[in-house]
Amino acid sequence: MRIVSLLMMAGLLAVVSLQAESRSAEEVFGKWLSYQKIFKDCSLNKSEKDIRNTWQGLVSNYKKYCQKDAIFDPFLNSVSNNCLCQNGALNKKGTRSLCSLYQWFDHDIAGFLNYLKNHDFIDSNVNMAENGMEVDPVINRYKRLTKQFFVSRYKDERMRCCFALANRMFEYCYGEKTFDDFYTILKTPDQHQIARLFYSIMWFHLVGEGWKHWHDDCLKRIAQEANRGKEIVYIAGGTDIYQLLEHGIYNIRVIDPMLPSQPLYYSEGWDWLVKSNATNRGIGDEVPLSNVTMKRSDYKENGSFNAHLSTDKDVQLPLSITEWQVYDNTTHKKCGKVIFERRFCQTSDFTLSPKKAFLISFNEMYYVAIPSNYGGWGIGAESLPKKLSLHVKQLRKPVTQKVLLNIARGEDCPLTFIRLGSCAT
């Protein structure tokens, strides 16, 4: 009997082994590998020498856009001491003025905002016209203005600077000590041109383009949390776990409905990562990475849930949990696990615990914070723990409940423009 049992067990294991599938990181995480970047924070300060060295590039950028964006000439004349728009020759006063601009970009966003108020940026006719314009042309207008000041032949370098500027703008606009100043702008229609500039830069570089990318400081902070033995709870993280695993973060719980109407947000193999169609539920499937290998260990369904798709269809999706064990490629010992909970997140998912750290992307953070009558997810900042520290994929610093409350307050203003959490597509 014992021999027969062992033979049967061996046969069962052989079937499982035959059904198990190994897919490469490229197959499973292909889109993340091809277009995702990690941006380190960088200083936006420029010395007078830097400005002289890049002046011709700035002039070239200005000439590229001046006919389309002549509305900015008064401001550009002011900040360059008439050097940029008039004759293209840089003088000492213009150099010092531009130095101040980059200092504001780097560590004094309030100073930059006050300069805009008082130096020919606001034009009542432009402000009024923008009220009736489509969102995209307005965003593109302010993107072009900002791009003029970051001169580099390397696109990644320009992107990194704009990513850094968007971070600093966010910290000022919604920071615990500075939000009230920005809220005054939001409540003052005559100053909405400034708000549109700030919203355009934050939205494009943190959501419109930035939804794909990570801030290096965020990865480092959550790696520290993981090293303290905490599970990283990634709210609405989809299949965006590649960089976490590559940075030594091996205990991850993703809570996401994995909506099938959003394939652009996932790699080609996202559905297989969540659910295999094999008769053994994909137990034993593998995904080898550079330092570790993921092995599927379990898949369970516990009913279903309803979801409304962006295609305006209602569907039923499986309420499931997929578990992958993570093994070290050198020692072959288990070093963690990745769990996918396929469902919508809820308030209880943010319950504080010494065993958990919370991670979220910028746009998802926004819809967690804002009330449902503004399109939020029905959670709302006021229901979250006061001592919450939420790591945000695109931000260099975690956000607090107070910051989330400020985001919610910011929605209650006369400005009609883009929501910062709006889907990039």
Give residue 265's pLDDT: 65
Residue stretches of the chain with pLDDT short of 70? 1-18, 262-266, 424-425
pTM over 0.85: yes
pLDDT in tens, 240-275: 999 999 999 999 999 999 988 766 666 777 889 999
> What contacts 205, CB < 8 A, 6 or more positions away?
159, 162, 163, 165, 166
Give residue 67's pLDDT: 83
Give residue 269's pLDDT: 76
Among 232, 225, 99, 116, residue whose Cα is nearest residue 169: 116
DSSP at 205: I
Give residue 264's pLDDT: 64
- Contact assessment for residue 186 and residue 413, using Cβ atoms and an 8 Å cutoff: yes
CA-to-CA dists, residue 227 to 230, 389, 403, angstroms: 7, 17, 26
Q: Which residue has the tokens 């260990």?
A: 297
Domain ranges of the chain: 48-212, 214-410
Q: For the chain, how big is the Rg over CA atoms in Å? A: 25
CA 359, CA 382: separation in Å to the nearest integer?
19
Give residue 14's pLDDT: 44
Q: Which residue has the tokens 């006021």?
A: 382
Give residue 424's pLDDT: 55
pLDDT in tens, 194-224: 999 999 999 999 999 999 999 999 999 999 9
